Amino acid sequence: MAARPKRRRVTESNRASSEKSTPNVFPQDPSAPATSEDRSRWKGFCEIESEPAFFNVMLRDFGVEDVRVQEVVSLDPDMLAYLPRPVYGLIFLFKWREEDPDKQEPSCPEGIWFANQTVNNACASVALLNIVNNIPELKLGEHLQQFKEFTLDFTPALRGDAIGNFEFVKTIHNSFARKMDMLNADLQLKNDASSRKKSKAKESDEDDAGFHFIAFVPVQGRVWKLDGLERQPENLGPISDDWVLQVAPEIETRMAQYEDGQIEFAILSLVKEPLTQLVATLAENVKSIVSIRQRLLQLQCDQSGLQPDTAAGNNLGEKDLLLGPCEQYRLSQEAIDQAVLSPEVEQHLKSDDIVGSSAVAQELATAQASIRASIRDEIKAIQADDDRAASRRNDKEKRLSNQDQLLFRNTWCAVLAEFSRSPYSEA
């Protein structure tokens, strides 16, 4: 029997050595808000909730243009009809379980950009990239466009590794990380590694399965399920009249696999930014009103013999009618110049019917008020997203309760304890 080792007295030198071996990742109070330095020094990816505001700000920071993330509150066909079109993709958050691998393609088909999730908690960014990189008409921004081209010939696994090493994406993803998120992620990674060492052959318990984002996207005439935890994409069949309605039963089937107490799902849609279309509609409206006003003015001048500046028609329209570019409504002169007039307006521009053209001008003025109201609502929604994201990034949300702070510190102590026992700690 081996001799029992003698206990060592704790001395200042012992304590200093112990403190030296503890990784100084978060030198401040672990319950304090995470700083930019904390996030930059951390090597992992944080979990992100299915909050549309966060996804919208992430896409904007990535450089992707004219895309908006909206929550899908129901898969009922009547409710899905209210989604702005086109719908570029759907993101489904659920408690992940492995499906039949035979449903997957033997290899990633040519023309499909698909990345595996090879880094813990990166599924939000992976799902977003698996959608936007498959929509040819989207403007991705300089960084994502270069990344897409660079990884075009990669396998899904290599693309996943590339995402994990892409500091541009990781920095934006982790801009929402709170210190608690980082500590929990590190502890979970440590526990996962420990569990694998203890029992490699033991099947994972479904109760321990984490929540996971997957993507559904129409590409090259077919609908695809792109799950980063699966090796290859799954082909769901040719696109029907409305691919969103086609995917709905697939998602409903997954939901039905869980018990009533496990109803924890979220569905997000990536759609064309409604504000873009609204501004284009306003540009057409302004150009139409100005063109008809000019035509009416010319007709009145021809009939009265007056000059344009003294003709009665010079004051047609509402007092607060928008007749040119306006920064408040994000309307530029270029957008007005490029707007295409409707056949009805074109017809009135060739007509001598003052009464009919005046009626059309009044209808356009009434419509403009509604368009401008919708634009104001969309701008407010975007600002609300920015405020929500800024609050999270600056960690100005509701501070932790005493009980949560205790849990926080216990988690922090567990992380330190695990690292102190690690053979890779500094001597």
Average pLDDT, the chain: 79
Phi then psi for residue 71, to 5 deg, are -75, 140
Residue 94 forms beta bridges with which residues?
212
| pTM, full prediction | 0.76
Confidence band (pLDDT; 50, 70, 90) for 13? very low
Phi then psi for residue 382, to 5 deg, are -65, -40
Residue 270 forms beta bridges with which residues?
69, 89
Return the number of other C-beta atoms located less than 10 Å from residue 330's C-beta.
Answer: 16
* 72-88 confidence digits (pLDDT tens): 988 899 999 889 889 99
If we measure between CA atoms, which residue out of 282, 387, 385 comes closest to residue 330? Answer: 282
Instruction: Note the pLDDT of residue 381.
Output: 93
Distance between CA atoms of residues 316 and 331, nearest Å = 22
Confidence band (pLDDT; 50, 70, 90) for 39? confident
* 322-348 confidence digits (pLDDT tens): 999 999 999 999 999 999 999 999 988
* 374-387 confidence digits (pLDDT tens): 999 999 999 999 99
Distance between CA atoms of residues 153 and 113, nearest Å = 9
- 42 or 261, which is more confident: 42
Q: Which residues are catalytic?
A: 123, 212
Q: What is the helix (H) or strand (E) element at residue 387, kind and residue range? A: helix 354-393
Provide, for the chain, the percentages of residues in helix, strand and coil under a 3-state DSSP scheme, each rounded to the nearest 5. 55, 10, 35
Given a cut of 70, whether residue 69 has pLDDT beyond it is: yes
Sort 219 into a burial class: Cβ within 10 Å, 0-12 / 13-18 / 19+: buried
Tell me whether strands 234-238 and 266-272 are parallel, antiparallel or unpaired.
unpaired
Quickly list H helices, 103-141: 123-132
Instruction: Note the pLDDT of residue 197.
Output: 53
Contacts of 188 (CB under 8 A, 6+ apart): 120
